[in-house]
Protein backbone atom coordinates (compact mmCIF):
# COMPACT_ATOMS: atom_id res chain seq x y z
CA UNK A 1 0.00 0.00 0.00
CA UNK A 2 3.02 2.27 0.26
CA UNK A 3 2.53 4.19 -2.96
CA UNK A 4 -1.25 4.10 -2.98
CA UNK A 5 -2.03 7.08 -0.78
CA UNK A 6 -4.94 9.40 -1.38
CA UNK A 7 -2.62 11.90 -3.06
CA UNK A 8 -1.81 9.45 -5.86
CA UNK A 9 -5.45 8.61 -6.57
CA UNK A 10 -7.54 10.13 -9.32
CA UNK A 11 -10.91 9.55 -10.95
CA UNK A 12 -11.52 5.92 -11.87
CA UNK A 13 -10.54 4.96 -15.40
CA UNK A 14 -11.11 1.33 -16.46
CA UNK A 15 -8.01 -0.78 -16.98
CA UNK A 16 -7.00 -4.40 -17.35
CA UNK A 17 -6.95 -6.70 -14.33
CA UNK A 18 -3.66 -8.19 -13.23
CA UNK A 19 -3.35 -11.29 -11.08
CA UNK A 20 -0.71 -12.02 -8.48
CA UNK A 21 1.79 -14.71 -9.25
CA UNK A 22 1.55 -17.67 -6.91
CA UNK A 23 4.48 -18.18 -4.61
CA UNK A 24 6.44 -21.39 -4.87
CA UNK A 25 5.76 -23.79 -1.98
CA UNK A 26 8.39 -24.12 0.72
CA UNK A 27 9.52 -27.75 0.75
CA UNK A 28 11.46 -27.20 4.00
CA UNK A 29 8.44 -26.01 6.00
CA UNK A 30 7.97 -27.13 9.60
CA UNK A 31 5.44 -29.93 10.13
CA UNK A 32 2.49 -29.68 12.51
CA UNK A 33 2.10 -33.07 14.22
CA UNK A 34 -1.13 -34.46 15.68
CA UNK A 35 -0.34 -33.51 19.29
CA UNK A 36 0.41 -29.86 18.51
CA UNK A 37 -2.55 -29.66 16.13
CA UNK A 38 -4.87 -30.89 18.89
CA UNK A 39 -3.55 -28.23 21.27
CA UNK A 40 -4.01 -25.48 18.67
CA UNK A 41 -7.34 -26.63 17.28
CA UNK A 42 -8.87 -27.07 20.74
CA UNK A 43 -7.81 -23.55 21.71
CA UNK A 44 -9.08 -22.02 18.44
CA UNK A 45 -12.47 -23.71 18.83
CA UNK A 46 -12.85 -22.91 22.53
CA UNK A 47 -11.73 -19.28 22.33
CA UNK A 48 -12.99 -18.24 18.90
CA UNK A 49 -15.69 -20.79 18.03
CA UNK A 50 -14.03 -21.72 14.73
CA UNK A 51 -14.46 -25.38 13.80
CA UNK A 52 -11.05 -27.00 13.34
CA UNK A 53 -11.45 -30.71 12.44
CA UNK A 54 -8.48 -32.95 11.67
CA UNK A 55 -8.85 -32.38 7.92
CA UNK A 56 -7.73 -28.78 8.49
CA UNK A 57 -4.33 -29.73 9.94
CA UNK A 58 -2.40 -29.07 6.72
CA UNK A 59 -4.27 -25.79 6.20
CA UNK A 60 -3.37 -24.68 9.72
CA UNK A 61 0.23 -25.77 9.20
CA UNK A 62 0.48 -23.75 6.00
CA UNK A 63 -1.08 -20.58 7.39
CA UNK A 64 1.18 -20.46 10.45
CA UNK A 65 4.50 -21.02 8.64
CA UNK A 66 5.05 -17.28 8.27
CA UNK A 67 4.74 -16.69 12.02
CA UNK A 68 7.25 -19.43 12.79
CA UNK A 69 9.77 -17.80 10.48
CA UNK A 70 9.12 -14.30 11.79
CA UNK A 71 9.58 -15.44 15.40
CA UNK A 72 12.59 -17.65 14.65
CA UNK A 73 11.04 -21.02 15.52
CA UNK A 74 12.13 -24.08 13.52
CA UNK A 75 9.33 -26.38 14.73
CA UNK A 76 5.72 -26.15 15.80
CA UNK A 77 6.27 -27.57 19.28
CA UNK A 78 8.34 -24.56 20.29
CA UNK A 79 5.85 -22.20 18.69
CA UNK A 80 2.87 -23.80 20.48
CA UNK A 81 4.74 -23.69 23.81
CA UNK A 82 5.38 -19.99 23.23
CA UNK A 83 1.77 -19.35 22.19
CA UNK A 84 0.49 -20.75 25.49
CA UNK A 85 3.03 -18.91 27.62
CA UNK A 86 1.96 -15.74 29.43
CA UNK A 87 3.74 -13.59 26.82
CA UNK A 88 2.33 -15.60 23.93
CA UNK A 89 -1.24 -15.38 25.21
CA UNK A 90 -0.82 -11.63 25.49
CA UNK A 91 1.11 -10.88 22.29
CA UNK A 92 0.85 -13.78 19.83
CA UNK A 93 -2.75 -15.02 19.92
CA UNK A 94 -4.05 -12.05 17.94
CA UNK A 95 -1.47 -12.69 15.18
CA UNK A 96 -2.29 -16.39 15.13
CA UNK A 97 -6.04 -15.87 14.76
CA UNK A 98 -5.42 -13.29 12.02
CA UNK A 99 -3.81 -16.03 9.95
CA UNK A 100 -6.27 -18.77 10.89
CA UNK A 101 -9.53 -16.94 10.19
CA UNK A 102 -10.93 -17.21 6.66
CA UNK A 103 -11.45 -13.89 4.89
CA UNK A 104 -13.18 -14.50 1.57
CA UNK A 105 -15.31 -11.65 0.27
CA UNK A 106 -16.07 -9.55 -2.79
CA UNK A 107 -17.83 -6.33 -3.73
CA UNK A 108 -21.54 -7.02 -4.33
CA UNK A 109 -21.16 -10.67 -3.30
CA UNK A 110 -24.55 -12.46 -3.41
CA UNK A 111 -25.88 -9.41 -5.21
CA UNK A 112 -29.58 -10.25 -4.88
CA UNK A 113 -29.35 -9.08 -1.26
CA UNK A 114 -28.21 -5.65 -2.38
CA UNK A 115 -30.89 -5.55 -5.09
CA UNK A 116 -33.52 -6.35 -2.47
CA UNK A 117 -32.10 -3.71 -0.13
CA UNK A 118 -32.05 -0.99 -2.80
CA UNK A 119 -35.28 -1.72 -4.66
CA UNK A 120 -37.57 -3.17 -1.98
CA UNK A 121 -36.52 -2.80 1.67
CA UNK A 122 -35.35 0.80 1.58
CA UNK A 123 -38.27 2.16 -0.51
CA UNK A 124 -40.78 0.31 1.69
CA UNK A 125 -39.26 1.33 5.04
CA UNK A 126 -37.81 4.73 4.13
CA UNK A 127 -39.83 6.15 1.21
CA UNK A 128 -38.75 9.45 -0.36
CA UNK A 129 -39.61 12.32 1.92
CA UNK A 130 -39.15 10.35 5.13
CA UNK A 131 -36.40 11.37 7.53
CA UNK A 132 -34.25 8.67 9.15
CA UNK A 133 -30.78 7.98 10.51
CA UNK A 134 -30.12 4.44 9.32
CA UNK A 135 -27.63 2.28 11.23
CA UNK A 136 -26.22 -0.78 9.44
CA UNK A 137 -23.77 -3.41 10.73
CA UNK A 138 -21.52 -5.56 8.55
CA UNK A 139 -20.50 -8.36 10.95
CA UNK A 140 -17.54 -10.40 9.74
CA UNK A 141 -16.59 -7.76 7.19
CA UNK A 142 -13.17 -9.26 6.31
CA UNK A 143 -11.26 -6.74 4.17
CA UNK A 144 -14.20 -4.36 3.90
CA UNK A 145 -15.79 -5.05 0.52
CA UNK A 146 -19.21 -5.82 1.99
CA UNK A 147 -19.18 -2.74 4.23
CA UNK A 148 -18.30 -0.44 1.34
CA UNK A 149 -20.86 -2.15 -0.91
CA UNK A 150 -23.50 -1.37 1.70
CA UNK A 151 -22.32 2.23 1.80
CA UNK A 152 -22.56 2.44 -2.00
CA UNK A 153 -26.10 1.02 -2.04
CA UNK A 154 -27.23 3.34 0.75
CA UNK A 155 -25.62 6.30 -1.01
CA UNK A 156 -27.43 5.40 -4.22
CA UNK A 157 -30.75 5.30 -2.38
CA UNK A 158 -29.99 8.56 -0.56
CA UNK A 159 -30.10 10.28 -3.95
CA UNK A 160 -33.80 9.35 -4.09
CA UNK A 161 -34.38 10.29 -0.44
CA UNK A 162 -31.98 13.07 0.60
CA UNK A 163 -33.51 13.09 4.09
CA UNK A 164 -32.06 9.65 4.76
CA UNK A 165 -28.80 9.68 6.71
CA UNK A 166 -26.81 6.50 7.23
CA UNK A 167 -23.70 5.00 8.75
CA UNK A 168 -22.10 1.56 8.46
CA UNK A 169 -20.42 -0.18 11.39
CA UNK A 170 -18.11 -3.00 10.27
CA UNK A 171 -16.36 -5.61 12.40
CA UNK A 172 -14.09 -8.60 12.00
CA UNK A 173 -12.04 -10.83 14.27
CA UNK A 174 -8.88 -10.17 12.25
CA UNK A 175 -6.95 -6.99 12.99
CA UNK A 176 -5.03 -7.53 9.77
CA UNK A 177 -8.27 -7.44 7.77
CA UNK A 178 -9.51 -4.40 9.68
CA UNK A 179 -6.31 -2.52 8.84
CA UNK A 180 -6.76 -3.39 5.16
CA UNK A 181 -10.40 -2.33 5.22
CA UNK A 182 -9.60 1.02 6.81
CA UNK A 183 -7.22 1.92 3.98
CA UNK A 184 -10.06 1.29 1.48
CA UNK A 185 -7.42 0.38 -1.12
CA UNK A 186 -7.96 -2.64 -3.35
CA UNK A 187 -6.47 -4.26 -6.42
CA UNK A 188 -8.31 -3.01 -9.45
CA UNK A 189 -9.37 -6.49 -10.53
CA UNK A 190 -11.40 -6.76 -7.31
CA UNK A 191 -13.87 -4.36 -8.95
CA UNK A 192 -14.26 -6.23 -12.24
CA UNK A 193 -17.87 -7.22 -11.47
CA UNK A 194 -18.95 -3.67 -10.59
CA UNK A 195 -20.76 -1.62 -13.27
CA UNK A 196 -18.55 1.10 -14.76
CA UNK A 197 -20.95 3.86 -13.68
CA UNK A 198 -20.58 2.78 -10.04
CA UNK A 199 -16.79 2.49 -10.29
CA UNK A 200 -16.52 5.92 -11.82
CA UNK A 201 -18.69 7.36 -9.07
CA UNK A 202 -17.25 5.72 -5.97
CA UNK A 203 -13.67 4.64 -6.75
CA UNK A 204 -10.44 6.53 -7.36
CA UNK A 205 -7.71 4.95 -9.44
CA UNK A 206 -4.03 5.11 -8.58
CA UNK A 207 -2.13 7.53 -10.81
CA UNK A 208 0.79 5.09 -10.75
CA UNK A 209 -0.63 2.96 -13.56
CA UNK A 210 1.58 -0.07 -12.95
CA UNK A 211 0.13 -0.62 -9.48
CA UNK A 212 -3.45 -1.09 -10.72
CA UNK A 213 -5.10 -0.20 -7.43
CA UNK A 214 -8.24 1.70 -6.56
CA UNK A 215 -9.52 3.44 -3.45
CA UNK A 216 -13.01 4.19 -2.15
CA UNK A 217 -13.79 7.92 -2.36
CA UNK A 218 -13.39 9.92 0.90
CA UNK A 219 -17.09 10.77 1.13
CA UNK A 220 -17.93 7.07 1.34
CA UNK A 221 -15.04 6.14 3.63
CA UNK A 222 -16.31 8.67 6.15
CA UNK A 223 -19.57 6.75 6.38
CA UNK A 224 -17.93 3.49 7.52
CA UNK A 225 -16.45 2.79 10.96
CA UNK A 226 -14.34 -0.34 11.56
CA UNK A 227 -13.67 -2.20 14.79
CA UNK A 228 -12.40 -5.61 15.90
CA UNK A 229 -15.05 -7.92 17.37
CA UNK A 230 -15.13 -11.63 18.20
CA UNK A 231 -18.62 -13.02 17.50
CA UNK A 232 -18.37 -15.61 20.26
CA UNK A 233 -17.75 -12.97 22.94
CA UNK A 234 -20.40 -13.01 25.67
CA UNK A 235 -21.41 -9.45 24.87
CA UNK A 236 -21.15 -7.26 21.77
CA UNK A 237 -19.92 -3.76 22.60
CA UNK A 238 -21.50 -2.15 19.55
CA UNK A 239 -22.19 1.59 19.44
CA UNK A 240 -25.79 1.36 18.19
CA UNK A 241 -28.98 -0.63 18.05
CA UNK A 242 -29.08 -1.41 14.34
CA UNK A 243 -31.77 -1.23 11.69
CA UNK A 244 -30.03 -3.74 9.42
CA UNK A 245 -27.37 -6.36 10.13
CA UNK A 246 -25.46 -8.30 7.48
CA UNK A 247 -23.76 -11.42 8.88
CA UNK A 248 -23.17 -13.50 5.78
CA UNK A 249 -21.00 -16.56 5.20
CA UNK A 250 -19.65 -16.35 8.75
CA UNK A 251 -21.85 -18.80 10.66
CA UNK A 252 -20.72 -21.71 8.47
CA UNK A 253 -17.47 -21.82 10.47
CA UNK A 254 -19.30 -22.52 13.76
CA UNK A 255 -21.23 -25.51 15.08
CA UNK A 256 -25.02 -25.34 15.41
CA UNK A 257 -25.08 -24.43 19.10
CA UNK A 258 -22.65 -21.55 18.60
CA UNK A 259 -24.60 -20.39 15.53
CA UNK A 260 -27.75 -20.04 17.63
CA UNK A 261 -25.88 -18.16 20.35
CA UNK A 262 -24.38 -15.75 17.82
CA UNK A 263 -27.68 -15.03 16.08
CA UNK A 264 -29.37 -14.39 19.44
CA UNK A 265 -26.66 -11.86 20.30
CA UNK A 266 -26.98 -10.27 16.87
CA UNK A 267 -30.73 -9.99 17.43
CA UNK A 268 -30.12 -8.20 20.72
CA UNK A 269 -28.37 -5.51 18.66
CA UNK A 270 -31.23 -5.17 16.14
CA UNK A 271 -34.27 -3.00 16.81
CA UNK A 272 -37.69 -4.62 16.69
CA UNK A 273 -38.73 -4.66 13.05
CA UNK A 274 -35.09 -4.45 11.91
CA UNK A 275 -33.54 -6.88 9.44
CA UNK A 276 -30.93 -9.66 9.52
CA UNK A 277 -29.25 -10.88 6.31
CA UNK A 278 -27.47 -14.25 6.35
CA UNK A 279 -25.42 -15.99 3.66
CA UNK A 280 -27.17 -18.17 1.09
CA UNK A 281 -25.56 -21.33 2.49
CA UNK A 282 -26.72 -20.55 6.04
CA UNK A 283 -29.98 -21.64 7.68
CA UNK A 284 -31.85 -20.87 10.89
CA UNK A 285 -34.10 -23.93 10.59
CA UNK A 286 -34.65 -25.56 13.97
CA UNK A 287 -33.19 -22.66 15.95
CA UNK A 288 -35.20 -20.80 18.58
CA UNK A 289 -34.85 -17.20 17.42
CA UNK A 290 -36.93 -13.99 17.52
CA UNK A 291 -36.99 -13.80 13.73
CA UNK A 292 -39.62 -13.92 11.01
CA UNK A 293 -38.82 -15.08 7.46
CA UNK A 294 -39.01 -12.37 4.77
CA UNK A 295 -37.25 -13.84 1.73
CA UNK A 296 -34.58 -16.59 1.60
CA UNK A 297 -31.83 -15.75 4.15
CA UNK A 298 -33.45 -12.39 5.07
CA UNK A 299 -35.36 -12.08 8.35
CA UNK A 300 -37.01 -9.39 10.43
CA UNK A 301 -36.81 -9.23 14.23
CA UNK A 302 -40.10 -9.79 16.02
- pLDDT tens profile 207-248: 776 778 999 999 999 999 999 998 988 889 899 999 999 999
Mean predicted confidence (pLDDT) in 49-65: 87
Cβ neighbours of residue 92 closer than 8 Å, sequence gap 6 or more: 67, 71, 82, 83
SS3 letters across 70-135 = HHCCCCHHHHHHHHCCHHHHHHCHHHHHHHHCCCCCCCCCCCHHHHHHHHHHHHHHCCCCCCEEEE
pLDDT of residue 57 exceeding 70: yes
End-to-end distance of the chain based on CA atoms, in angstroms?
A: 44
- pLDDT tens profile 149-202: 999 999 999 999 999 999 999 999 888 889 999 999 999 988 988 999 999 999
CB 276 within 8 A of CB 242: no
Closest residue by Cα to residue 63 from 44, 90, 88, 47: 44
Q: Which fold has domain 104-301?
A: Rossmann fold (3.40.50)
CA angle, 97 then 168 then 110, to 5°: 75
Which CATH architecture describes the domain 34-100? Answer: Orthogonal Bundle (1.10)
Q: For position 255, what pLDDT does the model report? A: 84
CA dihedral 249, 38, 62, 76 (to 10 degrees): 150
Mean predicted confidence (pLDDT) in 260-283: 94
Q: Could you tell me the residue ranges of all domains in the chain?
A: 34-100, 104-301
Cβ neighbours of residue 78 closer than 8 Å, sequence gap 6 or more: none
Please provide the average confidence, as pLDDT, over all residues in the chain: 87
Per-residue pLDDT band for 27 (boundaries 50, 70, 90) equals very low
b/e code 271-299 from CB counts within 10 Å (16+ = b) = eeebbbbbbeebebeeeebebeeeeebbb
Amino acid sequence: MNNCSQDTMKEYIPGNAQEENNCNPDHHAARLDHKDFERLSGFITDEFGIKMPAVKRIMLQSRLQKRLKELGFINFSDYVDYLFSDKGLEDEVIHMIDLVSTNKTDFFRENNHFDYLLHTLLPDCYPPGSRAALKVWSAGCASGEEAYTLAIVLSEYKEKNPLLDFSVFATDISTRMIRTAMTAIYKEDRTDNIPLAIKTKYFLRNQIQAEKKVRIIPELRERVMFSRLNLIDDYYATPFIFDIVFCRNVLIYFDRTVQEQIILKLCSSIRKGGYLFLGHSESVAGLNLPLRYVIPTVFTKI
